[in-house]
Amino acid sequence: MRRAEARIIGAIKQYASSRNWTPPDYRAFYRINERTGRVHVFIVARDFPGSKTEEKWSGVREALERALGPDSGVSDSIHLSLRTFEEFDQGGIYSPSSDFEEIFSD
């Protein structure tokens, strides 16, 4: 699972880089459920490309799948949540719980 974790973190950083985001432009968090083998990824940014929620989610999802490789099986284990900073600042369901780990930029 740790190898998959490193690949997912790399894919998120690659996506941020492709958007020309620097650390003030986004925050990313993840949580691994060892029991189910699922990874919950939570990305916060000012905005995401696309005009509709589904377009935004699909764009990020497709970028992660490209970075991870279509045959890796890793992308199937990802549960993806996207939030704007405005939503994130509201807390509650718009923020990751305390058991999420933050991904820091290099």
Say if CB 8 and CB 39 are below 8 A apart: yes
Q: What is the 3-state secondary structure (H, E, C) of 66-100?
A: HHHCCCCCCHHHEEEEEEEHHHHHHCHHHCCCCCC
* C-alpha span between 78 and 2 (Å, rounded): 14
Q: What is the pTM of this model?
A: 0.86
Stretches in the chain below the pLDDT threshold 50: none
Say if CB 26 and CB 43 are below 8 A apart: yes
Which residue type sits at 18? Answer: S
pLDDT in tens, 19-38: 999 888 999 999 988 898 88
Domains and CATH numbers, the chain: 2-103 (3.30.300)
